[in-house]
Amino acid sequence: MGKKTIYGQTRSKIYMRPLIITIDGPAGAGKTTVSRALAKRLGYRYIDTGALYRAVAFEVKSAGLDPCDETELESLCRHLKLKYEIDGSSMRLLSNNLDITGQIRSQEIAMLASEVSAKLTVRKYLFKLQRDLGKEGGVVFEGRDMGTVVFPDADMKFFMDASHKIRALRRYRELESKTLKQLDEIENDIRRRDENDKTRSLAPLKPAEDAVIINSTCLSVENVVDLMLTYVRRRFSLNFL
């Protein structure tokens, strides 16, 4: 499937270019599944930016570093090379040429990722990487500050949310074979991570002012994707999506 494009205009000339779409929101809101499905419908690349923070957290844990030590984090980031590679229909995340895709999905790494994401050194390193990934457009970026910080000029911004109980249930089902935690423990983890993400001074989790807010508590993945495509059609007067 070829990339869908939009018509844009700058002063005197009209041009066509692929979209940059951002989908932000808290853990368990359904961002990953929806972002992948939306990217597939559009023929776009899908970038899970949360995985990049998890990768840094994974490397911090592996090296036994203090996640609060900016000097150690700066040294780590200076020698860290993260990249995505396409493997069939999926994207694999490599850290210094090692595939860590399956090693960054634990709840422990998720909580550590929330901690390191509040550090300026880490954010500066990943900011440039994320901007580079979006240079050519045709990308759906999933994250927590894509529409507010990294791509404030994105063509279309969404913010997904859902109730704490539904989000905890989704995460429990995702981690069921990998964790001994009970559902209420995961819900408490989610509430704690929300508090960390929303109250941090650097790039707190919040919707962009021009983002479309979608509550997925009672919606299926197909419902959400269809709704997003409807907003894209309306904003850009498109009839081919």
Q: What is the pLDDT of residue 238?
A: 63
Q: What is the pLDDT of residue 213?
A: 97
SS3 141: strand
Domain presence at residue 12: no
Q: What is the pLDDT of residue 178?
A: 64
Q: What is the pLDDT of residue 27?
A: 85
| Contact in structure between 207 and 24 (CB atoms under 8 Å) | yes
What domain range includes position 27? 17-230
Domain presence at residue 5: no
CATH number at residue 70: 3.40.50.300
**Tally of domains in the chain:** 1
Q: What is the pLDDT along the chain (241 residues), one digit of tens a residue?
A: 455 544 444 333 333 578 999 999 998 899 999 999 999 999 999 999 999 999 999 999 999 999 999 999 999 999 999 999 887 777 899 999 999 999 998 888 988 998 998 899 999 999 999 999 999 899 999 999 999 999 999 999 999 999 999 999 888 887 766 666 788 888 998 898 888 888 888 888 899 999 999 999 999 999 999 999 999 988 887 665 5
Domain presence at residue 29: yes
Q: Quick check: pTM over 0.85?
A: no
DSSP letters, 73-99, are: HHHHHHT--EEEEEETTEEEEEETTEE
Domain presence at residue 200: yes
Domain presence at residue 118: yes
Which one, of 174, 166, 175, 156, lies nearest residue 216 by Cα?
166
